[in-house]
Every structure is written in structure tokens, then in C-alpha cells.
Amino acid sequence: MHIKPSIQSILSFSRSQKVDLLRLDSLHPIVSGNKFYKLRFYIAAAIENGCSTVVSFGGPYSNHIVALAFTAKEAKLKSIGYIRTNADEPMTPSLAEAKAYGMELVYLGRTDFQSKKASILETNDAKSDTYFIDEGGYGIIGAKGAATILSEQDTTHYDYIICAVGTGTMLAGCINAASPNQKIIGIPVLKNEGSIENEINALLLDKNNPNYDLHNDPNYDSSNDSSNDKINSHSYTLLHQFHQGSYAKTNSMMIDFMNRLWDTEKIPTDIVYTSKLLFGVEQLIQENYFEKDTSILVIHSGGLQGNRSLPAGTLKFS
């Protein structure tokens, strides 16, 4: 059952700024955080198009894969996950969970995964009963869903909105939905992610951007959305210095930070996204990046699957 996300003040971060956390992780025990929003219109489109199966891609600890498997089951759809690992490797708890929800797992191996994924997407028959969703829910429809993240609570009074960046879909949705006066910051979790800005820009509401033509998108309902006819004038900032070495890479300093955040604020984080996000926000505050008396909304994107790769007892929360 979907419930509105709560907003929690992070009192230990600053006395000069108001820092709040939008707790998307509290929405659902399985379809955690932004996955609910990014998948909602994909699933609706699959059903509307008469598809019986949804297909996507991900790694062995993918929040997206687990969330899709559960969501497909609830929608009475079959699901297939193309996985970035080998069939002879031990099955991770995340993949075992996805399989328990009925997902068929197809192992593509760890090399040339992106080219294999591209080949599968290129051969997708638009007339088939299979609906393909890109890795992490990336795409126009995913960004449309992510834009609704800011609509379930009054977030218009915040000066800054900050979130972690994986595929960039959630950030793009937030940029599209934000008020003109709000400053949007993304914290990428991948090292040397040179293409991420182009991938984000391709999802922005901009009628001058040929990569995003909402008028030709049958899944976008513009009946109550005047933004369909406006150019997105938002600028945004990507801060690349908090990736901790690479995707899903962590260290003892970050583990200590995650446990301290749990002790002080009872906020659970994961090693891939939210620990890097919140660590970055705290560092920026300490470096006086934000003006005094500004209000900051940090989006907890949910999903703790990556923590399953850690030895038992590493974190104080499950």
C-alpha cells in the first residue's frame, strides 16, 4: 500500500540552515523509495498496451529489479530480469527475492553488459506483448513518474532540492517539477560519469529538445499540465566529488557515517546512493556551501539492497 512520504528534520546537520529529509524509503517495504514513482507509469503503460510481461535490466543487488519483480506480480504481469552477473555465481539475496516474486532471471555476464542490453532493446518488437523498461527505470516515462515525488507534500518553500544520481531519472523528474526559484543539486554515485548530464538533459521538459517530445508521447497526460507548453528554464548542479571511488564502493569512514546517522537520527542509508548523498550534504554544510538561513530538502530515494553485500553486523540497522 502506498502512503505519502514523511518529512524528517535532520537536526544534527546544521544550526544555520533548515535541513529536511523526504523519506521515500518509508513508502513501501519492498517497492522502496523512488522505484514506486519511476515504475508507476511504466506498469500502467504495459497494462494499457495489453502486454503480459515486463522486462528490465540490473545488477545482482539491484533495488530496481526487486521492486519491478514485486510490482509486476501485484499487477498480475510476468517479469524478466537481465542481470549483470554470471549464472555460476552464488545467487545474491536480492536476486533470490526477485525470483521468489516470480521474476525469470537471465544472466548476461559482467562484460559488455551495456552493449548486450542495447542489442536486446534494439530488437524489441513494438507489437509484441512484452514491455521493456530500461535499467533503473531510465526514460521519459520514468521521469514523468519521478516528477510526482514533489507533489505529495508541500515542497515549494525549499530553497534547495538535493538527490543522489544514478541514471539521472529522478533528478530530471525533480527538475521538471520544481518551482522556478528552487536550486536543484544532484550528487552522482558513479565515478567519471561523463555522459550523465546528457542523459539528464534528454529527460527535461523542453519543447525545443528533440529528445523529449511530449506531444508525441501517448503515455503523457497533459490535460492538467500547463508545463507541456513551456520551456524548462531550470539550471541544475552536479557535484561529482562524493562517489567514494566508484559505484557501490564504500569504506570504513562511510560505514562509520552510516552508523552515526542511524544513532543520531534513526535514518537508514545504503552504501550505493543515500549514504553518499547525505555524507555529501553534511560536508557541503560544513564547507559553507549553502547560504545562512536557507532551507534544504534532501530526497531519501529508498532501497537498501546494496547493504546485503556487506558482512553481517557491519551496520547497526538491518
164-218 pLDDT, tens digit each: 999 999 999 999 999 999 999 999 999 877 789 999 999 998 644 544 444 334 3
Instruction: Give CA–CA dist 193/73, Å, rounded.
Output: 34
Residue 224: pLDDT over 60: no
Residues 6+ apart with CB under 8 A from 88: none
Residue 225: pLDDT over 70: no
Is it true that 6-29+140-309 and 34-137 share their CATH fold?
Answer: yes
Q: Domain ranges for the chain, please list them.
A: 6-29+140-309, 34-137
Residue 38: pLDDT over 80: yes
Q: Please report the pLDDT score of residue 205 as a whole number.
A: 85
pLDDT tens for residues 62-95? Answer: 999 999 999 999 999 999 999 999 999 999 999 9
Number of neighbouring beta carbons within 10 Å of residue 173? 26
- Whether the CB-CB separation of 79 and 69 falls below 8 Å is answered with yes
Instruction: Give CA–CA dist 177/9, Å, rounded.
Output: 22
pTM, two decimal places: 0.89
Give domain 34-137's CATH architecture. 3-Layer(aba) Sandwich (3.40)
Under the banding of pLDDT at 50, 70 and 90, the label for residue 126 is: low
Angle 274-286/252-265 helices, nearest 10 degrees?
A: 80
Average pLDDT over residues 46-69: 96
Under the banding of pLDDT at 50, 70 and 90, the label for residue 227 is: very low
Give domain 6-29+140-309's CATH architecture. 3-Layer(aba) Sandwich (3.40)
Task: Return the exposure string of 230-260: e unless at least 16 CB atoms fall within 10 Å of the residue's CB, then b.
Answer: eebebebebbbebbbeebbebeeebbebbee
Beta pairing, strands 130-132 & 160-165: unpaired
Residues 6+ apart with CB under 8 A from 78: 52, 53, 54, 72, 102, 104
Residue 153: pLDDT over 70: yes
